[in-house]
Structure 1
Amino acid sequence: MRSLQPSRDVRIASASGAITDLPENLAELAKNANVDFIIGDWMSEYNMTTRGSQKVTNTDEAAFEQQFVDSLTVALPDLAKRKIKLAVNAGASDTKRLHNKTLELVKGAGLHLTVAWIEGDEVLDIVEACKKEGQRFRNITTGQFLSDWEYEPIYAQCYLGCFGIAEALKQGADIVVCGRVADAAPTMGAAAYWHGWSRNSYAQLAHSLIAGHLIECSYYVTGGNFTGFKSLPQSSDGTGLLNLPMARVREDGTFFIEAHEIPGRGGEVSVNTCRTQLLYELQGKRYYNSDVVAILDQIKIEEGDGRNSVYVYNVGFEKPPPTTKVGLTAFGGYQAEIHYFLVGLDIEEKAALLENQLRQYLKGNFSLLKFTTSGTSTSNPVSQDAATVDLRIFAQSKSRNDLSDANFLKPCFNMVMSTYPGATFAVDARQALPKPFNEYFVTILPQSLLNHTAHIPALDKSVRVDAPTDTVPYTFEQDIELTVDPIDLFSLGPTVIAPLGYVVHARSGDKGSDCNVGFYVRNEDEYPWLKSLLSIERIKELLQNDYNGKRIERFELPNICAVHFLLKDHLDRGVASSSTYDVLGKNVAEYLRAKHVQIPKKFLDRGRI
């Protein structure tokens, strides 16, 4: 692919990190940002299951993300006027229909923009054919084989790479809509098209993969979800909103993360916000993608060209795997929950009494019945709210009848007169009504079997994207690394028992049922302590009752003073079916930062995070 602008970096801004992002972001960037491309991600594992199930059960209703359509409607005139190209992950399970809707909007606005769509991510037929040929499909998070899964897949969707997007742009597309490409693929595709990278431009692709990873969640790299939020520059307009991020990618792939600064807004792009977002949703030091594998253990993140500028380089690479990740959706059954409130003294005993009574009294055939207390009753509480603990009764069953009023709601409520002192239930019982949920199975599929195609109907063109042929097999389990050059933890002088998060930043997230969590320190002289403290055994101790006995993988990132852990199968089947409050794993880091450890006093003397 010939370089489009060999003498200039490409500027790519991020408009959305999820369907829970601000819909006005796209219009703001289209009107005011100094960029060549805007990318956006409206996808997640949760809406992969919900939209896939929707497409199978309700073919009349479009299974793409309507919030993107709403955002695009307002932004279209400025995209056309300023000649900014757009590549988005928003088609969900109806990418062609989203293409048609986008084209309708373009024509309705009287604009002349070429719209393309990317095909190939819907793969249930391929999975079924492979099953008949004997392929077993191992779950990449749990290790379970598909043949042993008790559910029947109704939908399957894989993660496509970036070259379909790059090809659509090369053919003249102004807007490229995708259903399920990898989160970083729109950024990678824009950069590959702009600089003319080929399939074997591995060093460049690996860097652009990390550029895409850093901006794919929009505000997360400008201060959203940042453990140092108290020190962020505050907005002057009173909204508390942050600036939006951009990646400026050079021809060699190295890149700057910068901010599109909006008058009155706060936040920042800093080494710390970039370190935080880098550690989000990692699998290990190998960051897998359909087009390349980025190796992260020697990555460098430094101050860039000025305010709100960070330079990232030294990303390693391996050749891509011959496979790509695929998620299988199945109907899991129904779930419901009821909440009781416990107040004051004897919280554990009160919870145990109600749980024992209900386990004996409930007669439904539940696949899961779980009792969870959340919160604590403070000593000498200043208010009744401060003394109140939530008791959640969560149930799942393959049968709706098992969760009917007669079998779940009424029996739970009927216990109120004969249980613990002060027994009170939440009178809003809408959560107690049975609702369907999906199970999700994450595995890999050969890329050679995919129909990865860029369609540009307005130009009567469809270009097939070949799978990579020079590959390295996917590694199901990455290394369990021990601390490199550990130190005596007491060699740093007097210590103080305090929460880990007083001096340590952290970030965690979900990948299927796995949860990752990364930690880093602000100062280089604190890193030998951090990496020596946070062994796998110490993480198990800090998790305490939450450690599930499963495998934990560890690696170090010395150039950014970080240690990363992957907690296998920590999230109870993942976001679509999890019985936990923290279905996305985002608060695992916050839980661990709250745990007390021995911290060198001199580190605490520098001030709390």
Structure 2
Amino acid sequence: MMVLASNYDNDPIDVLVGDWMSEGNMTVRAGSKIDGQVDAYEPTFLEALEPALPHIAKHGVKVAVNAGASDTKKLHEVVTNMVKAKGLELSVAWISGDEVLPQLLESQKRGESPFENICTGEKLDDWKFEPIYAQAYLGGLGIAEAFEKGADIVVCGRVSDASPVIGAAYWWHKWQRSDLDKLANAFVAGHLSECSSYSTGGNYTGFKHLEALGWQNIGYPIVEISHSGQVVVTKNKGSGGEVSVDTLTSQFLYEIQGPWYFNSDVTAILDDIWFEHLSTDRVALRGIKGAPPPPTTKVGITAKGGYQAEMHWFLTGLDIAAKSRMVQTQVRHLLAPHISNFSHLSFQTIGSVPSNPTNQNAATVDLRIVAQARKAADLAPAKFVRPCIDPIMCAYPGATPHLDLRQAFPKEIFEYYVTLLPQSSISHRVHLSSGETIYILPPEISQTRVYPKHQPSEATTSNPIPLSTLGATVRAPLGSIVHARSGDKGSDCNVGFWIRHEDEYVWLRNLLSMEFMKELLAEEYRGGRIERCEFPGLRAVHFLLKDHLDRGVSCTSRIDFLGKNCAEFLRVRDVDVPRGFLGRGRI
């Protein structure tokens, strides 16, 4: 915030927005609030805000963030006191209504909905855990109303990631709920900017060519939104990285679930999306259409899931599989009296040894032992870490455990359940500094649309052609010429692939069928539902891997707990690439 606000004279902005929420910190902050141990908002927001406040006040910059997490009222108090301590005349408002556990439990008791898990299909009555907290994803109209009533800073809890941008544009341009195309463009603009530097070169498979532009100072995206809803993305002046068609395609494909993109205020129809390069670091968003929002909104439910502990052994050189098998056999034997109390136990071999390695680190892989249990006592040192370490004198050659045992002691984990709640059940309110409270009405049923349970999906491309017609091929990693991006939503993982040249897209969309995706996933495919769609304007093919991530970030046993490396795994897999494509140079 300081970087952007302090440079206003040279690079003016009207509204600073920030997304501080993820499914990981939603569950952790929920647990903190229920336990009453610490303030359950995001303290790093205050670190960003405090030095920027004088510049925000001087230039009249508005601020909207969702850093309230599970304690928005408390964050409002802290920010209000911070503003007063600096002698600034800034009005601070806060948004409530995202905390919905009472409404959800009452509705469940009345049998009004099975509250199906949108990732797994499970019914809430069948969930093995007791909900302690639930947060609904709110739209941006409360933020817009706060700005309209004179607020300078609006702090929120679980508004959607893009809602601060939607609210800012709605307020600035005096839009109406019926301006669906405009709202949809603002919604996608919010998605493009919500993850900070992801749109300017962070987490981008073309990262190598950005080194000359400055890896150490990758910039922040700035979205310009016109009254008609047209969007241009740029970045702060003097920063590294870049805003390009490819960096925006990377961020766009991150975390979407298909061609329908839902928000409490609007549904964005993404089929015809494309980006237009205008000039250096200026790219326009095109092709977005708006549709009515659904009558429901997403709700994340948190429950105490128990405890997790993990232990690591290092395996080096030859016979890695046999060495892993030996220590597993020994550890399982020592764990046997306690395993019945574990809810999960896995042995994961991470990495591999290359042929003729030239240093010892390259020849070393990690054997990760992960256990979960409902009670911390079931993972006490005598029941987990001691049995994991005790084989040291009779294990494989070179047997070496990791000596940092902090992860081997039980830590609390949280289960996370994703479902839907009617917007009409939510009390979305704006609390102004004057003490006034304003209720934000949900959309009327006539202003919403019920969408099918699953996104549009096609197993193969329409009008497929034989790949043999594209000429001679060579075996090469998919990522030699294909960009990709993946991420998590609950236990679902999405992954999108895109190509640099139009003729290569013919190959990509014919290659990447649902069946071929299963082949690419290889041992990672566990039989789950796969959904597939194409974005021709981006030369992209997108997949949604349902329930792929072992319950989500807050309790997963997977090392790729955010699903972000799924794309990188798939890019390293060998495929048949037309020889001529490789001649254009690799990514």
TM-score (ref. length: structure 1): 0.93
CA contact (8 A) 1:322 1:474 kept: no
CA offset digits 1:357-400 (Å, max 9, x no partner): 22232022110001000111122221221111100000000021
SS in 2 for 1:141: coil
Distance 1:328 1:243 in 2: 34
Distance 2:229 2:120 in 1: 34
SS in 1 for 2:469: coil
Distance 2:400 2:185 in 1: 55
The residue identity in structure 2 corresponding to 1:243 is G
The residue identity in structure 1 corresponding to 2:552 is G
Distance 1:380 1:258 in 2: 46
- % same residue: 53
- 1:345 equivalent to 2:322? Answer no
Equivalent of 1:311, from 284, 302, 322? 284
Residue in 1 aligned with 2:391?
A: 415
- 1:550 equivalent to 2:528? Answer yes
Residue in 1 aligned with 2:492?
A: 514
Distance 1:485 1:193 in 2: 45
Distance 2:294 2:228 in 1: 22
Equivalent of 1:370, from 346, 358, 378? 346
Residue in 1 aligned with 2:152?
A: 174
Gaps of 5+ in 1: 1-14, 16-23
Deviation at 1:527, TM superposition (A): 0.6
SS in 2 for 1:367: strand
Distance 2:308 2:211 in 1: 43
Equivalent of 1:278, from 244, 249, 252? 252
Deviation at 1:585, TM superposition (A): 0.5
Distance 1:484 1:384 in 2: 50
Distance 1:511 1:555 in 2: 17
Distance 1:27 1:46 in 2: 29
CA contact (8 A) 1:30 1:75 kept: no
Deviation at 1:100, TM superposition (A): 0.9
- 1:87 equivalent to 2:64? Answer yes
Distance 2:9 2:250 in 1: 29
Distance 2:210 2:523 in 1: 34
Residue in 1 aligned with 2:441?
A: 466
Residue in 2 aligned with 1:165?
A: 143
Residue in 1 aligned with 2:515?
A: 537
After TM superposition, the structure 1 = structure 2 runs for residues 244-259 of structure 1, keeping only pairs within 5 Å, are 244-259=220-235
Deviation at 1:27, TM superposition (A): 5.1
Deviation at 1:479, TM superposition (A): 2.5
Q: How many residues align?
A: 580
CA contact (8 A) 2:182 2:229 kept: yes
Gaps of 5+ in 2: none
Deviation at 1:316, TM superposition (A): 2.1
SS in 1 for 2:217: coil
Distance 2:15 2:397 in 1: 61
Deviation at 1:562, TM superposition (A): 0.4
CA offset digits 1:13-68 (Å, max 9, x no partner): xx5xxxxxxxx556556676311111011111111000011000016x32111110
Residue in 1 aligned with 2:401?
A: 425
Distance 2:231 2:412 in 1: 44
Deviation at 1:427, TM superposition (A): 1.0
The residue identity in structure 2 corresponding to 1:327 is G
SS in 2 for 1:232: helix
Equivalent of 1:571, from 531, 549, 552? 549
After TM superposition, the structure 1 = structure 2 runs for residues 233-272 of structure 1, keeping only pairs within 5 Å, are 234-235=212-213, 240-262=216-238, 265-272=239-246
- 1:155 equivalent to 2:133? Answer yes
Change (3 A) 1:104 1:361: same
CA contact (8 A) 1:27 1:74 kept: no
Change (3 A) 1:596 1:115: same
The residue identity in structure 1 corresponding to 2:253 is L
Distance 2:260 2:531 in 1: 12
Distance 1:485 1:444 in 2: 36
Residue in 2 aligned with 1:19?
A: none
Residue in 2 aligned with 1:37?
A: 15
CA offset digits 1:220-257 (Å, max 9, x no partner): 00001110011126346xx7211211000111212001
Deviation at 1:487, TM superposition (A): 2.0
Distance 1:303 1:400 in 2: 54
SS in 1 for 2:468: coil
**Any runs of at least 4 consecutive aligned residues in structure 1 with deviations exceeding 6 A, and if so which?**
none
Residue in 1 aligned with 2:418?
A: 442
SS in 2 for 1:194: helix
Change (3 A) 1:431 1:158: same
Residue in 2 aligned with 1:3?
A: none
RMSD: 1.3
The residue identity in structure 2 corresponding to 1:229 is F
The residue identity in structure 1 corresponding to 2:78 is K
CA contact (8 A) 1:31 1:79 kept: no
Residue in 2 aligned with 1:229?
A: 207
